[in-house]
Structures are given as structure tokens and as C-alpha cells.
A and B are shown apart, each in its own frame.
Chain A
């Protein structure tokens, strides 16, 4: 009887990826006809959990019950048969097909034209029109996807699920790409779906939306289920505290900082994305010599653009980047390296490293042209070898064939060590770390944190941008919180509590509240 109450029940779900446990014994129960939110920081395991419900990956341990019956969901196809639908963060639509064609794709209604089966487009259009009428989702079935805005495309994705008669609708960060007005409309749609008897699961880190529509909310942290809360009787502050508030599991020993003069100064820095939207919106701050400035924030609030703009990988559209009194906003990437910017980028596979180069050549990537290593454009192999071996020894980079190892074959931790070794050995006045420990195990993480502190103690200005709040708390002397491309708060680390930072990250507190 008890089991019949829940349309979805996940029991003791554990999923491990190399070096990380994405879900650790998570159990949730979802009632039919409710809006169930799954809240957590980046990397908390929200998407992983729902990917298992939708059959994209299978759990290592644990059981999934759908309508009280134990099911093995080994593919999205199986999930669809169980009337589970999912709208991914990145829409999966064929952009030069019409709305109706996208919706019926994979289960086209047929009609016979003599001996030949034909797609019944007229029938499909009528059926899509009827569905959109019934659920209040305004779309024209004959519109072509590429002409539609993001919110309409999202409605097409929802109709795609409804056409497949989905009863359990999973949304992965559905409002990340929407404007505030579109968000309001979307939340209305979600309420409408619930009123029609659908069960809705929202993966999100936006507290405001949960407060507005969700009935219950599961909070995940580092793969573990922290709590399931009744939304009506909880405040957003409660939820924020649950989401980020937990003991710091490791800490790096550090001496009190000795701040010098400002090294990096941003003055109203503005960076636009491809759509012309201000990803970084008039950001100003300073980083002094001997200071670690940590930038906390939820993913997608302009952190990547900020780091890339400082390193020169993205154009700045307004404001100034000043390094030791010199305006570097219009310098090329190489000129900035020479001016003294070291940058550990987030994506070490496609940006930080040439994976098919040898370890030695990757260690040389920022210096191969310098007089020490090349004379009249001819590279000095001996100097290369010596320097490569020196860095490998000094930074303890492990690989099976020393400096001749193809970098691709190395472990993620050692690849990151190589990036860090190369950048830190430039001994620049400014070091920008972007997500330096992403995907690494605990040992590697604490090692990198020690290096960050060592850079500070050497007198460098360190800008640490991370989605991992623990990392920010562990290393920073000063913490800035970025929200929607804007620095929402900047204060000495000691003066901020975890709860406060959480609220600023969510935009609950601060100038640009959502």
C-alpha cells in the first residue's frame, strides 16, 4: 500500500565515477501529482541522480521503483516506455525541422499512400495543436525551430514529452536560459502540468523558483541527500543554509596574509556573450600582492567570461583591466603572458593542454619562444629537456614515460599538475585559477590548495574562481560573490559566514536580487 503512494521511488542509489562518488546512498520518494525540486550546488549530484531515472546511466547500487514496481531503466527508450520524460539543459531539437516534425520524431504517425508508408504531417500538426491547446503551451506546429526563441523551444521540448504521454516530467535547470518574464511564464506552465495530474521534477539551484512552485524539495550535497523539506513551511534562507552549510572537510594551513600594493585592478569590466548579453556586467575589484581573492558563485554567472577576459581569450567590451598600473585590456594573449598573467583554465583537455603533445612540449607551451629556449626560432632541445625534467621533478608529475609521455595517457590529476607547474613557474605577479580542482580526488585537491597559498606567500596576487564553496573558503583571504555577471558582495573572508555567502550566491541578498 505504502509503495503505491509514490510514483517514483529511488532507494539507496550510489553512482561512482573515477575519483568521485556522484551519488552516495540517495533515497527519494516522489508522490504522483507533486512538483518535486532537487536542489544542490554544482557537482552535488542532482543531474547524475536524474540521469539514472531517465536511463542515461545506470546506478552502481540501489533500486528504482516506478509506480511501486521495481524497474531496471537501462535506456531513455525504456524510461519513455515507463512514461518518464526529460527536458535537458541543452535542448535536443533539429533546428531546421518544424515544431510538429520535432515532436513526432522517432514515433511518426503513418498513413499509406498506395503501398508506400508516408508521414502523416497533417495529422501530426493537428495532434500537436490539440496538445498545445490542452496544456496552454502556445506554439505553432508549422514554425521552424531555428526561428523560435528559447522559451518557445522549451515549450516544444515539453510538448515532445507530452506527445509521448509522459507522466513524470524531469526538467534539468529549466530556467537557466530564460529571462525573468519567461521564467514567470514557465512556472505557470509547470503549475498547469501539475494541475493536469503530471508529476514534475525540477533540478535547480534557484531557491526563489522552488519557493514559488515546488511542493517538496530534496537537498543534495556532495552526492549525499541532506534533507527533504516541505517548501511551504521553509524559508529560502533555511534552504540555502542546508545547501551549503556543512562542515569543511579539509583545510589548508596558512599564515596570516601580508597584503602589498594592488596588482590587478578591474574597472567596470564588461564582457558580452555571443547573443550580446552582458555576461560580465560592469565588474570592479582589486587584487593585492599577497592576497587570494576568491570568487564564489553558482555556475553560469559570468565566471568563465571573467577569467577569459583577464587572460585575453575573450574581448572586453567595456571597462579596463589594469595590471600593475598598466592597461592590458587590449593586449593579445601572449602580450598578457609577458606582462605577467598566468592562467589555469577550467578546461584542461581542450584549452590548458595539447593532449597529443608530449608532457615536455606541454610544459613548454608558454615559453617555447623565449630566448632561453629558442635562438632565431630554432628550439633548443637540450634546454627543453632540462626544463621539462626539472618541472616534472619539482612538481611531482607522474607519468609512465617521463617527459616523453603523450599527455593524453596521463591521469587527470597529473595533467592538472602539469598545467599548474607550467603556469606557476612563469612566476608572474598575477595568477588566475579557474576551477583548479574540478574532477580531482581529495589528495590532489589539498596539494593544489597548498600551491595556491604558496603563490600568495610568494607575493603574487591570486584570483581564485571556483564553483566549489569549500575551495573558496579554504584558500581565500577576500571573498567576492558573483551573481548574474555582477559582483554582489566583496568582503574579507573572515567577516562572512557560509550562510551569508549562500544567500549572496543565490541573489537572495545583495544589490541584484532575483
Chain B
């Protein structure tokens, strides 16, 4: 009973409630749009679940079933968990890391180049480990650079991260198109199966399934991050800085060190998202674009209340919408963009409800 009351009225679940309402409003808004388009919202939403392997489809192609759909869904969800954690940890210390797309690209690219240069010297587990390490290092370096600019020159991190996104994208596009292009797909050459973080097209039990090896890691990292933020002195300092710069300084917390640490951590998570995306879910990098997932991660982090475990939940929901939209559009012949639309509406609602929750809490 007490749990129930605090779930509805208490302070502890304030963020969770906000996210719940944001989601509900967004789905309702999506339903209205679908209805106006002359489609049945209920079956559209059911299609999303079916496309994500959460409900059985009417029929499956050979070697496909609900489980292969779900495994493929987890493969898509993995980079999203990392990316949203990246945004969330930065927001906890008051920074807006909009540079996740650039960090993802840089990390994925570095991992591609290094593993390609090494060829087949490393055994598969070591190669995969190397990909992860490179992802963390490349992302952390970019994040720390943003943090350094912020701390040293007081440049707004939003501006630097947008610029760094473009710089990373154009440099990498140039390199891929000049030295590293696959002439058939016009993408970067594919990463070797030995180094790829997703076991793709594994034939087992009559299925042909994709196993995202990084998925358990993503869940583990989320739990570790929660413990880090809630239970360590570093986390205490990050949270204090995010809530009150003046008080954090007064308490003797080093603002420079905390800024650098947070942004490096955020970048490292962005880098993990990058390798899970470009060296896992995909095997190659498409030149000329930044991964939109890096931007969607902002919505996911807000929906998850900037909480590590909330991010898992929110990544799950958003991936249902994005992953399931392919099936929905083929079944109902609605444009798959409707899924992006719903995601965007969630962003707006969760941003609004976050400020609503923030405002209600305060009275002096």
C-alpha cells in the first residue's frame, strides 16, 4: 500500500511518473495521427510489438520465428542503451552531450581501421575485446576534449559537440570514400566476423539468428553506472555539480576534474554505443551521415529520467517503436517515419514533463 501510494504521489517515483505520462501522451498522439491517416492504431501498435518479436507474427519466412525477431531486436537495442547512458551521465552533471553521434562514428571508425590493419592475427575473443577497448578510448578522448574546451575556455558544450559531430563525420567520410570503400555497397568495408560484436546469421535449432554479444555488457554497464553515480564519491561530485555549480565549488569539489571525468565517461559510453552500432548491429559505416540514434538517445535519456536503469527501460520502448516500424509499415502501408514522429513527440513530452516535475518540486 505504501509502495502504491509513493508510486502515485511520492517524491521517489516522480521521474518515473513523468516518463509514464510522457509515453502515454505520445502514444495517444500517435494513435490520433494514425487514425486520421485512416489506419487502425491498435493493429499498428500491435505490429510494432510483432516486428520486435514481442508478439507472434501471422507468418514467418524460412528459418525465422519470434525468437529470431527478438534477438535482432536486442541487437538494435544494445547501442541505444549505451548511447542513452552517455547522454544521461552528462546530464546528471549538468552538461548536454549532443555529441553522441560524433563519438559513435569516431569510435566505430577507429575500431574498423585498427582491426582491419591487424588482419587476422588476433583470435576472435581478443579482437572483440580490442574493439570494445578502442571504442571506449576513442569516445572518451572525444568526450574529454569537449570537457576540456568547456572547462578551459568556457565554450558551450552544445556548440562544440555539434561542431565535433560534423568534423568527425566529414573526416571519416573522406577517409572511407578515399581509402576504405566497398565498391559494391558504397559503404566502408565490412568488419571481419572475428572482430564483430554481433554473431550474425548463426544457424542453430533450425533458426538463423543474430546474437548481440554486447547486450549483456550494456545491461551490466547500466547497473555499474547506477552504482557509480549513487554510491561513489565521484558520483556524489557529479550529481552535486549538476544540481548546483556554486554549492559544488563551495564544497571543495574540483570543477575541472569533475567536468573532465564526466565528459570522458559520457564519451566512453558514446564510444561503446558506436562500436555496438558500427561493429555489431551493422558491420560497416555508411559515409556522409551521422547515426540518428545518437540524437534519439537524448529522448531516451529524458524518458528514462536520466537514471541508468530508466535508460534500459526507455531504450527498450524506443527500440520497439523504431525496430517494429518496418513491420508496421509493410503490414499497414503507413510510412515508417510515423515511428520517428512518435519518438520525437516523446522527446517533447518528456522534456516538458521533466521541467514540470522540476518546477513543482520547488518552493522557497
Contact = CB atoms under 8 A, between A and B. Distances in A.
Interface of A: 311, 313, 332-334, 336-337, 343, 345, 347, 349-357, 361, 364-366, 368-369, 374, 377-379, 381, 401, 406, 408-409, 412
B138 to A, nearest CB: 26
A361 B230 CA distance: 11
| Interface size, B (range) | 20 to 34
Contact of A356 (B236, B250, B251, B361): B361
Given A356-B361, A361-B236, A409-B361, A332 B247 contact: no
Interface stretch (B56-64, B238-246, B282-290): B238-246
5 contacts: A365-B247, A368-B233, A377-B234, A378-B233, A408-B363
Q: Which are the 4 A-B pairs with shortest beta-carbon distances?
A: A334-B252, A333-B252, A350-B246, A365-B251
B156 interface: no
B244 A355 contact: yes
B240 A377 contact: no
Contacts of A378: 231-233
A368 B230 CA distance: 12
B363 A357 contact: no
Contacts of A355: 243-244, 362
B363 A409 contact: yes
Nearest to B230: A379
Contacts of A409: 361, 363
Contacts of A361: 236, 240
Given A355-B243, A365-B240, A408-B362, A333 B233 contact: no
B243 A368 contact: no
B233 A369 contact: yes
A354 B244 contact: yes
Given A361-B236, A406-B11, 9 more contacts: A311-B250, A332-B254, A352-B250, A354-B247, A355-B243, A356-B361, A368-B233, A377-B234, A379-B232
A362 to B, nearest CB: 8
Contacts of B234: 377
Contacts of B252: 332-334, 336-337, 366
Q: Tell me if A's interface is mostly helix, strand, loop or mixed.
A: mixed
Given A332-B252, A356-B361, A406-B11, A351 B233 contact: no
B233 A377 contact: yes
Contacts of A374: 232-233
Contacts of B236: 361, 364, 368, 379
Interface string B323-364: 000000000000000000000000000000000000001111
B186 interface: no
Nearest to A332: B252
A379 B252 CA distance: 17
A332 B248 CA distance: 13
A379 B233 contact: yes
B231 A313 contact: no
Max chain A C-beta neighbours (<10 A), residue from B11, B246, B249 = B246
Contacts of A351: 246-247, 250
A357 B243 contact: yes
B233 A354 contact: no
Interface string B232-275: 11101001100110111111111000000000000000000000
B48 to A, nearest CB: 36
Contacts of A357: 239-240, 243
Contacts of B249: 313, 333
Contacts of A366: 251-252
A336 B254 CA distance: 13
B240 A345 contact: no
Nearest to A364: B236
A466 B360 CA distance: 34
Contacts of A365: 240, 247, 251
B226 to A, nearest CB: 13
B202 to A, nearest CB: 39
Contacts of B363: 408-409
A396 B234 CA distance: 30
A345 B250 CA distance: 9
A417 to B, nearest CB: 16
B247 A353 contact: yes
A409 B361 CA distance: 7
B354 to A, nearest CB: 13
B25 to A, nearest CB: 25
Contact of B246 (A311, A347, A406, A412): A347
Contacts of A364: 236
Residue among B232, B244, B253 with max Cβ neighbours from chain A (10 Å): B244
